[in-house]
Structure 1
Amino acid sequence: MVTGISLEQAVALMTGGLSPLPPEALPAVQALGRTLASHVTAPMDHPPFDRSPLDGYALRAADIAGADRNHPVCLPVADTLYAGDEAKSPLLPGQAVRIMTGAMLPPGCDCVLPQEDTDRGNPVSIYTALPPCKNYVYQGEDYRAGSLLLPAGTRLDAAALGVLSSAGITEVSVCPRPKVGLLTTGDEVVEPGRPLPPGKIYGSNGALLAARLAELGIPSFCRHAADSPAAVAKAMDEMLEDCDLLITTGGVSVGDKDIFHQALPLLGAERVFWKVDLKPGTPAMFSRHGGKSILSLSGNPFAAFTTFELLARPLLAALAGEPRLLPRQRQAVLTTPYDKPSPRRRFLRGRYEEGQVALPEGHSSGQLASLVGCNCLVELPAGTPPAEAGQAVQVWLL
């Protein structure tokens, strides 16, 4: 087990050689928000026939050349076509066909005249001329059979699902959603809704990380274990049966009750690293057992949140094969100062907007209320003095 490594080294150790989980086949109607795992090609032309974009008359441009209000052209109406009708008979020279929006155009026509430019009679009087191809929607105008309809990596939103439906596609292959187990620990933790005895606290890490995973579209389930190495090892063993990634909080530092140093060997897990050179969340630990990953985070709420963003998200991105799960970074200008030096690489909560970032009050790793309304982590490099307003900083968007 290595110790005291950089954030980048930690991510490399966790994700190096890690293969994504297999793609999942889903009915398209259930795939909103999912990411395509493979290209989708068009199985057909769309539209599948030449069609009218408006209500009017299908005709030949040559037959109405020179028409205007003072010199209308009169044409017999040979047929009426509605959306869904098949145009079986070709349009003969000197004829018009009454046609509705979306209807198949008859062979032989080369334009569609809006009904507002006629008297709508039979024969129909036409009051304006048109060039060929005017108001004419060609077969395959939207996309052609065999063309790339949606590339792999497309996030399936309403428009993408509409496109799939227009092509008659009912099933898609999507990137998997890793199932995450959350194990919180601590004898001091009481479940919300129960009386709070002296010396106890209500647990927040389970709710915090489960909600964050849900925001990322990742399913999870949560358990709590007391500060007993045997109990924690048993809980981990059971939870690993039902998840692709296990995230734990608490018990990873150097105190008497930091029991993961005993629990992981009891489980038989391979410990890969312990302690990452950042603050908060330095004691983060990573292990493997049975081909699955175990990421153990600090029990302090903001420390757990920070290291989840910096360490768990790259793991989730690798398991899902989805780069969108990686945190995005931006350059910003700090609008509020931070009065402490940063001997170690430090991450603060912040509110980023239009290239500027403001810091709230309260940056202790045990404080959670000041995280409300924040949308980024602000990075201060190791060895920097107190940060001043106007200083350029790197932010990691949440």
Structure 2
Amino acid sequence: MYDIGFQQACELARNNITPLGAEKIPVSGLSGRVCAREAIALIDYPSADSSLKDGYAVISRDIARADRQNPVLLQVVGTLGAGDPCTMSVSTGKTVRVLSGASIPEGAEAVLAEEFAEKRDGHIRALACSEQGRNILAKGSEVKEGEILVRTGEVFTPAKIGLIVAGGIQEAWVFRRPKVGLLATGNEVLLPGQPPETGKLFASNLALQDAWLRSWSISSVIEKAEDSFPGLKTALESIVDECDIILTSGGAWKGDRDLIVKVLDGLGWNMLFHRIRLGPGKAVALGFLQGKPVVCLPGGPPSNEAAFLLIALPLVLQLAGYTGSPYRRLTGILTEEVRGQKDWTQVVHCRAEKQDFSIRLVPLASTQRLRSMATADGLFLIPEGVEHISKGTLVEFICLNDQ
């Protein structure tokens, strides 16, 4: 398919990508990962009835009528702290001192908070009642053995990790993170670390992509190839064996040296689409080589960034099991009119300025391409068919800067 709409391209991409296989990892590595198999509690939490407060384990009927005018005397027969083996019991007229987190001794029905007790020579005077269950965290009230704690597709947050550890889980299944091949094409391209040469450019596109991937803890392999059939063929054949997905930059349009799609055709890839109605960012192709996704991105920095953020990065994250948008989406009020194109979706960089309880969106000029990208807080889309959006309009934008 050629020259398709942006929304159609996104839908085709989403529908043809499935997450990679699962791996089992310790809880120390779970943060931010996507659950691949339900995490099921192995134990109850708490494992026994326990005290919520420092106080005294009592039989409720012993102190049912206790108050400051009519205190009830109870004998203290021992003390239990959190984690202590519970070998004591409570009978009528007796109590056990319990600290927060301690197991409730046999026979006790409630905990009288210590502020309602006065100590006296191995006894306490109970100054209030404490009905059955008061100040007791019941066994399994937080987590029950066999309960599903985290479902497939959910992201392990710190709080969810704490929950599964409480349920006795020390390892969990997550979707494997992909290794991404980043391939720069072009005779003029230098990789970071190479000495500068007049007339050549450093591969800023790859640096940007690698930085975004690292922000998601996804590793990459960076390569470059000159604009020739043999060079591109060799680079693609090498990188496809090592990586789960390939992102190429440059050479995806219709020029004399735009060879990447032709080389992929020669290698027998299964192309889904080539060129989308997105500006900047239209020189995009997506297909599969040896069953692995290959996304061909434009070479110009604004086009490359737009296509990477809107097409490629969501696909990489989908391989890792993530669903939905990878970006925070907010709304802001346009400070000036913006114009789009009748026959494509327009991408606009913007600066977001907080004003009282709203956000002002300042569109950025595209004359200084890399500088506009570096100073942008976000970007928004002017949909295909919309030729202008008026000043003062509330629009949704993708937040690229959480600061």
Task: Calculate the TM-score normalised by the size of structure 1.
Answer: 0.91
2:46 alignment counterpart:
47
1:3 alignment counterpart:
2
Structure 1 portions without partners, runs of 5+: none
Stretch of structure 1 that moved more, 202-211 or 375-384: 375-384
CA distance in 2 between counterparts of 1:338 and 1:24 reads 47
2:222 alignment counterpart:
222
1:311 alignment counterpart:
311
> 1:231-310 maps to which residues of 2 (within 5 A)?
231-310=231-310
- Which residue identity does 1:313 align to in structure 2? L
Q: Residues 169-212 of structure 1: CA distance to partner in whole angstroms, max 9, x if unpaired? A: 11101122122110012222233454433322222011100111
CA contact (8 A) 2:143 2:167 kept: no
Q: CA deviation at 1:315?
A: 2.3
Q: CA deviation at 1:232?
A: 1.3
1:323 alignment counterpart:
323
Q: CA deviation at 1:350?
A: 2.4
C-alpha change, 1:340 and 1:274, in structure 2 (3 Å) is closer
Task: Calculate the TM-score normalised by the size of structure 2.
Answer: 0.89
1:385 alignment counterpart:
387
- Which residue identity does 1:202 align to in structure 2? F
CA distance in 1 between counterparts of 2:158 and 2:327 reads 24
Tell whether 2:104 aligns with 1:101: no
Q: Secondary structure at the match of 1:46?
A: coil
RMSD, aligned α-carbons: 2.4
C-alpha change, 1:139 and 1:71, in structure 2 (3 Å) is same
Tell whether 2:378 aligns with 1:376: yes
CA contact (8 A) 1:317 1:325 kept: no
Tell whether 2:16 aligns with 1:14: no
- Which residue identity does 2:202 align to in structure 1? Y
Tell whether 2:203 aligns with 1:203: yes
Q: CA deviation at 1:236?
A: 0.9
Identity percentage over the alignment? Answer: 32
CA contact (8 A) 1:309 1:327 kept: no
Structure holding more strand per residue: 2
Q: Secondary structure at the match of 1:96?
A: strand
Structure 2 portions without partners, runs of 5+: none
Q: Residues 320-359 of structure 1: CA distance to partner in whole angstroms, max 9, x if unpaired? A: 3320455566665423333565552211122457764513
Tell whether 2:141 aligns with 1:138: no
> 1:160-199 maps to which residues of 2 (within 5 A)?
160-199=160-199
CA distance in 1 between counterparts of 2:204 and 2:243 reads 21
Alignment: residue pair count: 396
C-alpha change, 1:192 and 1:317, in structure 2 (3 Å) is closer
2:347 alignment counterpart:
347
1:28 alignment counterpart:
27
Stretch of structure 1 that moved more, 97-106 or 225-234: 225-234
CA distance in 2 between counterparts of 1:292 and 1:196 reads 34
Q: Residues 219-238 of structure 1: CA distance to partner in whole angstroms, max 9, x if unpaired? A: 22211222222111111110
In structure 2, which of residues 346, 352, 362 is the aligned counterpart of residue 359 of structure 1?
362
Q: CA deviation at 1:85?
A: 2.0
Q: Secondary structure at the match of 1:35?
A: coil
Stretch of structure 1 that moved more, 224-233 or 145-154: 145-154
CA distance in 2 between counterparts of 1:393 and 1:117 reads 58
Stretch of structure 1 that moved more, 56-65 or 311-320: 311-320
Stretch of structure 1 that moved more, 80-89 or 335-344: 335-344
CA distance in 2 between counterparts of 1:273 and 1:123 reads 82
CA contact (8 A) 2:143 2:166 kept: no
CA contact (8 A) 1:33 1:157 kept: yes
CA distance in 1 between counterparts of 2:285 and 2:214 reads 23
Q: Secondary structure at the match of 1:377?
A: strand
